[in-house]
């Protein structure tokens, strides 16, 4: 694809990606369009509201395991700041977000998928004494077929 055609395509896609709901950002990342962010806003990886409880528990087990995601899940263990039983959604969001940050955060949006049980959000999921950290984001960079574009 000539550079001018790629640039036109990127100019058309940029407003769509910037205004897209959080699920679309994840979908775009898996479809060959990389969305990287740096500084300006914040992103968290959270459990989807409609995710199956069994899928969430399996994803938590993997994310928190030494042989899997190696997320630090101490805060969602009994006595931890984010234990809050029996809220599987909140536990999953904590584990998913910790794994996502360790896997590169916004620079690696595909790390927030967990077989479709997770999505990126700009809404802070922290509650009470449970604080879910985020990476700061400054601007959106879009890559399509290896052609970088910066707005």
pLDDT of residue 135: 65
Alpha-carbon distance of 134 to 94, in angstroms, equals 11
- What mean pLDDT, rounded, does the chain reach? 75
Using alpha carbons only, how large is the chain's radius of gyration in Å? 16
How does residue 2 score in pLDDT terms, banded at 50, 70 and 90? low
Please give the Cα distance from 105 to 21 (Å, whole number): 18
Over residues 5-34, the mean pLDDT reads 39
Residue 88 tokens read as 């599987």
Q: Report pLDDT digits (tens) over 54-88.
A: 999 999 999 999 999 999 999 999 999 999 877 99
CA-to-CA distance for 37 and 54, rounded, in angstroms? 31
Q: Which residue has the higher pLDDT, 24 or 129?
A: 129
């Amino acid at each position: 694809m000539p550079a001018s055609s790629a640039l036109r395509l990127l100019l058309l896609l940029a407003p769509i990606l910037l205004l897209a709901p959080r699920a679309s950002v994840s979908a775009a990342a898996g479809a060959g369009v990389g969305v990287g962010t740096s500084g300006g806003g914040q992103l968290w990886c959270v459990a989807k509201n409609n995710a199956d409880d069994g899928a969430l528990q399996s994803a938590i087990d993997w994310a928190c395991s030494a042989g899997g995601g190696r997320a630090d899940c101490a805060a969602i263990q009994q006595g931890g700041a984010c234990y809050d039983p029996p809220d599987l959604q909140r536990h999953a969001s904590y584990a998913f977000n910790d794994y996502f940050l360790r896997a590169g955060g916004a620079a690696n949006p595909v790390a927030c998928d967990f077989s479709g049980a997770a999505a990126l959000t700009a809404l802070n999921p922290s509650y009470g004494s449970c604080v879910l950290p985020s990476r700061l984001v400054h601007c959106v960079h879009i890559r399509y077929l290896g052609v970088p574009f910066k707005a």
